[in-house]
A and B are shown apart, each in its own frame.
Chain A
């Protein structure tokens, strides 16, 4: 019987994204989250008395150049060596893109899979054969699994592969393969990496993505960690997920329909945050809050959004005792007036609303509005102009959203007198 750890997509020192700072935000708590998670991984391997650790690619972030990150990683691998634990590393698309992996000197308990062809390592002591092939360049689009050797008879066979499998939203479709390819090899366990969301594709044999050990933005929400696999003498495997994350991401939608005042909205958010904070098991919570619903409070919220966002942030700090970071507060409430009637009526506001409706359905007008913002966008840093975090100020869908927000911003002003009644 032996135990091994399966982790992937550590993206060491990859920064947490979307956490704009504000008074009371727990800045200290997010420091080095991915490092903490790696530390937890190593500690788990030691605590579980693991025979070996598999890291199925993307140890580092592709565009990250600080060699210190590599040194930090190597020092943790040394800790595993001191505890007699071997490590199998596979380079993923990010590792192939970056320089750190290539130049880093690893302690001798670390084995790296070759990138030209698949290779098998045999661990006599536990009767295990581990097969794997790393990425030689960032954009490997051929089916690597196809070139893996057949299972070694009489041993427990593990395939290590960095792959998008049959394709997953938000992930590049690298090293594609399907279930049949993998099952057909006759392995006992496929340790996959690349997809950041934990997913068990198959149970016998086990084919699974452990997900990344630490979520880095709100789209990587929920518990994060690694897999602990325990193999008994009959080669049957028990798989268990172990949390490694120190910060837990969550997206909350708070229904504020009918709430009259900004304070009421703050109270609703507080209550939602209190509920959510109960599930973090002592971790820091990074939450995105979207407030929605038609309500009288909308007028107050749109007239001074910053004030109310700050109040909500202060409330969050208060609720959690500094253990909560509000990643973003989206005020998506709407005015509690009968928009249909307003549109149908005979007033300048009706004309305005009709005009805006016309804009929404006219692609030319939409691109005209995008034009209006194009110059502004060109002043923003490159990171906001392209790539994953880019701000969208041009797609028709986004312009429609902006128009909707503009509508919700303008209406309280134009109906101010009537709303006072």
Chain B
């Protein structure tokens, strides 16, 4: 096939652009398209022309989807031509020359089995593929199989694909290692499984523990009983061990008591009483003797004392004088000091008078005296002056301050800006604000609109079968839901009919098959004779007979006929005999096996009938299918108007629902759009009104870019400024008024202060006159005169007091001396000559002595009387004791008190023994464990006391052993109970089993993926190898030649080698014969190698396939001029067999081609 013309009717940037590619044999067509001329679009258009437009395209920027159109004229190698067009759509996109739809099958003849994918990769090549192909060759190490396969497919390389498979495979699993996913999962699974087994409780474990617990509890019970017995035995022994020594002691005491015999019992207090009586007697006798001696000594002292009565009688007078003599002595010492004080005070008075003035002396000083009231008034007046002065000064200062403040306020007032009327603006503002935030509203509704719009667009885009706009959809004539429903019913009816018939056919076929099997079965049991067979046998026999007759009667022997009659025997006689036998046999069998024959006939008839039935049913089926297609074509017509290739009615009903929903949303969209406009109008109206109001106030009107919100803010701040100014101005006026009022008040204050001061001055002058000062004197001066006068009168009064005291002291001294002299003349005339002080002292001493003697005498008399009494008392006590002791002797039957102690000792001993016996019996009662002491004593008598400790030790050992055993059992029971308690039906193992199943599932998933990867990889490798084996020879030979040309003989050929894994690999061979591995080649050389392989593969394919144009896209960008030319030459050779369409945007390349390639092979075009 070759392309005669490429018509870019409406595609990408092209409109009605046609490239005539019909020149030449097949031709090398060089299409020049500078940048932006649409070279790529033309390339895509070419593919789309053959294979249809993709659902989404970027080439609709100039022409709408529905108008996109490509056209082309192609010619098959057999000379047939086809002119066709391609439009974008879902169905019937291929149109013939007159614009009528064709099926894609119309191109089958020209394109063969090519799909879009294969066409693009095998027959399209661009610069990028060339470079990647070259690189991939190196990456693949020049593996011949991979290189050929990749070049044959037109893809860059196989190595990447193989490696990707390999990598995933290794990531999943390696025969050894722990990291790959599957290896890891296997290990995890094993681990969890083990954990699960560990967590599992075996039933044996449980019953072991259960039995162990039971046994231990029984053992513990038995043990407890034994222990109880041992313990009571030990108690008994311990009891006896303690009781036996006491029993011995009891017996001994009883014996001792018996030995003491009969003794008069004496009460325990007897001995004490006896000792007390003897002691009293001894003490009384000693005391009496001592008292007699003392009495004689007192009587002697009394006779020695004689006190003076005269002095004692005058005791009162002497004591009074002795007391006065002290104060008399002190007054005589004090008198000279008082006289000195008097003199000093008089001196101070003289001094003060001198300071008051020369006119004052003691004599006239009294006229200086003024009253306390006067003094107080003068001082008070003095204190009044200072406040008066302060008040006046204060008023003056206040007045000055107020005046200054007023001047400043008046200045402020003068500077205040003027006030404008903003009421209209405020009204507009409030009106606009009542609307809320219109800007935000506008933004919100606009956004919502856009979101809805986008959502609807998206839904529209997702809506199948529809490429138009929403508006188009709204106005499109979409079938009604009922129509679709009707179709659905019709379809299902016809469909059911088809199914019914098909089932009937299948049933008949089954029957047919069954019949045939039955016939087969019948036949298998031996051939069935038929009437026909009989006829055949008889005919054969008859023919034989004719030959026999001819030979026999006519002597005619036709040896050829005879041989033919029975090829086996070749003899007539034998052959005829055989035929007679055979005919008879068939006849016999027919008669004998009539039943089987009939059955066979029956089956055969049924078979025929079944076949007929099938034929009839098939006819029905055909007509039912026809009915189905009739409905189908009506159905398709219904949708055709909408250019929709409809699916089943059920699907389309769903589609209709979507459309209906979209319609609803479209209405909603319109309502939202109206809302956007309404808000926008409102915003404009408010802006206009506010702007006008601002202008009227002399402000700048609204400006571009200022939103309504900004404008409102500006208006609001203007109104606020105005309101503030007005308020400030009012405040200032109020302030000035207030200041004026306060100045007047201050002036009033000042006047009042001045008046008060002059009043005070008058009163001050009057008050000072009494002090002899004039009115100009200051309050301080007046205070000084007043202080001094006060001091003068204090000193004068003190001097008068001291003088009175001196006189009283002198009178007291005289009266004391007279009284002393009178007393001495009466009691001690010898003292009259002594000073009165000394005489009083001597008299007092003598009185003190007389008084002491009299007291001593009285004391001694008292002693003598008391001693006489005591002596009589002791004598009575001696008598009483004697009587008591005599009575005691009588009671105990002894002769004298000295025998009493022995008697007392014996009696006490008897009492002790009895008490001990009682104590021992009580103690033994405690050990008798409830029985009598006698029983205990009896029990003790039967026991071997010496053996007791060892028996007890033995019991203790036994008890201890049993107790240890019991404790062990307790522990065992505890641990068994705990073990059983831990076996609580928990689900740990079950959970682990769950987990292991999870791992197993994951493992299975990964293992399945691994299997697919492994198989894919293996199959691909095998196919690559197969491909190599099949194609290596011819393709490599041609590629080798091309490589030599493309490398300008830098390489002589391509050869093959084996790598270290024995894979065949490609090498380049230099003219010198040296082999160059691929990694030793330059990038450019590798590109040329890849190109060689590609072109060789394509040429190889041309040998037995319809040629397909080769579409090249600027593959020579990296080639130098010489190599470019070499390539172009190769291509021009190739173009003998297959058309080559070469797109380039290099003018230079066109020039090289035009200069070097024949004009009947090369044709150039420009897209510009």
Contact = CB atoms under 8 A, between A and B. Distances in A.
Interface in B1013-1038: 1013-1016, 1018-1020, 1022-1023, 1026-1027
B989 interface: yes
B1001 A18 contact: yes
A393 B1015 CA distance: 11
A417 B203 contact: no
Contact of B1011 (A15, A99, A402): A402
A32 B991 contact: yes
Interface stretch (B395-403, B580-588, B979-987, B1130-1138): B979-987
A16 interface: yes
Most chain B CB atoms below 10 A, which of A18, A104, A414: A414
Interface of A: 13, 15-21, 30-32, 34-35, 64-75, 99-100, 102-104, 305, 327-328, 337-338, 341-342, 344-352, 355-356, 359, 369, 372-373, 375-377, 379-381, 383-384, 389, 391, 393, 399, 402-403, 405-407, 409-410, 413-419, 421
Contact of A414 (B153, B989, B995, B998): B153
29 contacts: A18-B1004, A30-B994, A32-B990, A32-B991, A35-B990, A66-B989, A67-B202, A67-B203, A67-B206, A68-B983, A102-B203, A342-B118, A345-B118, A347-B118, A351-B1026, A351-B1027, A372-B1014, A376-B1010, A379-B186, A381-B190, A402-B1012, A406-B1019, A409-B1016, A414-B155, A417-B121, A418-B118, A419-B117, A421-B44, A421-B117
B999 A347 contact: no
Is chain A's interface secondary structure helix, strand, loop, or mixed overall? helix
B261 interface: no
B1011 A31 contact: no
B202 A337 contact: no
B54 A16 contact: no
A389 B1016 contact: no
Contacts of A416: 155
Interface stretch (B107-115, B439-447, B763-771): B107-115
B527 interface: no
Nearest to B206: A67
Given A372-B1018, A418-B121, A421-B120, A351 B1003 contact: no
Contact of B1019 (A15, A347, A355, A421): A355
Contacts of A104: 203
Given A381-B1003, A417-B154, A75 B985 contact: yes
Interface residues of B, number: 78
A66 B115 contact: no
A348 B117 CA distance: 13
Contacts of B346: none
Given A68-B985, A348-B153, A384-B1000, A418 B116 contact: yes
B186 A380 contact: yes
A375 B983 CA distance: 43
A15 B1001 contact: no
Task: List the 10 shortest-distance A-B pairs measured between CB atoms, nearest first.
Answer: A418-B117, A20-B1002, A72-B985, A71-B985, A406-B1016, A345-B113, A103-B203, A20-B1001, A13-B990, A66-B200
Contacts of A31: 987, 991, 994
Interface string B177-205: 00000000010011001000001111111
Given A100-B203, A418-B118, A419-B117, A16 B997 contact: yes
B302 interface: no
Is chain B's interface secondary structure helix, strand, loop, or mixed overall? helix
Given A376-B173, A406-B1019, A17 B153 contact: no
Contact of A348 (B206, B998, B1027): B1027
B55 to A, nearest CB: 8
Nearest to B193: A381
B152 interface: yes
A354 to B, nearest CB: 9
Contacts of B1013: 406, 409
Most chain B CB atoms below 10 A, which of A71, A99, A337: A71
Interface in B1115-1131: none
Nearest to B1031: A348
B751 interface: no
Contacts of B436: none
B1059 interface: no
A346 B1101 contact: yes
A55 to B, nearest CB: 17
Contacts of B997: 15-19
B122 interface: yes
A379 B200 contact: no
Given A67-B983, A417-B129, A403 B1019 contact: yes
Given A347-B122, A402-B1012, A403-B1019, A414 B991 contact: no
Contacts of A30: 994
B152 A376 contact: no
A328 B1004 CA distance: 10
A103 B120 CA distance: 74
Contacts of A421: 44, 47, 54, 116-117, 120
B152 A348 contact: yes
Given A68-B201, A414-B155, A35 B1004 contact: no
Contacts of A73: 985
Given A16-B997, A103-B203, A421-B54, A379 B1101 contact: no
